[in-house]
Amino acid sequence: MNYDWQAALVFTVSVIAISIIGKKVVFLPPEFQRLREINREQDKQKLAQDKYPPVVAQNNKIGLITNLLFFVLVVPFFVSMTAQPWYWVLLDIVAILMVYDFFYYLTHRFLFHGKGYLRRVHGLHHQARKPTHIDAFYVHPVETVIGIFLFMATIPLLALFMGEFHVITVIIAYQVFIQLNTINHTYVDLPGFGFRTLSWITAKHAVHHENMHKGNYATITLLYDRIFGTLD
């Protein structure tokens, strides 16, 4: 296990570039622009409330620090630039996301919706009964750290059994992890194959936000909710 700073640099630069370019490209279609304007208007109303700006600002700061630690302390040990077949890259992406989602499902169901301290922590996020884009960032810093840590821990855990991941694998898995956690809280109503599934998942997460007793605990897919009978 070596510290591959070059792979880590490629990962970090790629994540930043995708984030910047993606925000411009993804909203080019008119239907996406329409949804962005709907969410912007609702976000503006929420940010006008005194409670939102400080929580969102603190969450963004904590998230940035935690992600940077992931980029520097985790990624360099478990990624490489060695070429891999495309199907291995695809399988590795699916494995990372599904194992992470299993960890998150358990944490979300039994800790965030349990009876201890973390239920109160998660309660801040659940103040949003009808979530929109901004509510993905209206989160207690403890919950932010735990969420990122679960993804961070998935990489080395799987690497112990599967070996190092190609840098492209981790880039794509990380982007899906970040984007779906945000999109889950975004109003999405798009027709067409693929988008219908995304619209359904976001609608299910909106149901989850109605109170602290609803199901739909997973975040990448709702597979584990189907398996364990918590699909609401």
Main-chain phi, psi angles of 182, to 5 degrees: -85, -45
| Terminal CA-CA length for the chain | 43
Nearest to 67 by CA among 75, 57, 78: 75
Query: pLDDT digit of tens for each residue in the chain (232 aa)?
Result: 789 999 999 999 999 999 889 877 777 778 788 888 888 899 999 999 999 999 999 999 999 999 999 999 999 999 999 999 999 999 999 999 999 999 999 999 999 999 999 999 999 999 999 999 899 999 999 999 999 999 999 999 999 999 999 999 999 999 999 988 988 888 787 777 667 888 888 899 999 999 888 899 999 999 999 999 999 9
pLDDT digits (tens, 9 = 90+) for 83-99: 999 999 999 999 999 99
Give me the helices (H) in the chain, please. Answer: 5-25, 30-47, 52-69, 75-78, 86-107, 117-125, 141-162, 167-183, 195-208, 223-227
Cβ density class 171-196: b for 16+ within 10 Å, e for less: bbbbebbbebbebbbbbbebeeeeee
Distance of CA 185 to the CA centre of its chain: 10
C-alpha 229/C-alpha 232 separation (Å) is 9
Q: Quick check: 187 and 38 in contact, CB under 8 A?
A: yes
Q: Quick check: 107 and 191 in contact, CB under 8 A?
A: no
pTM: 0.94
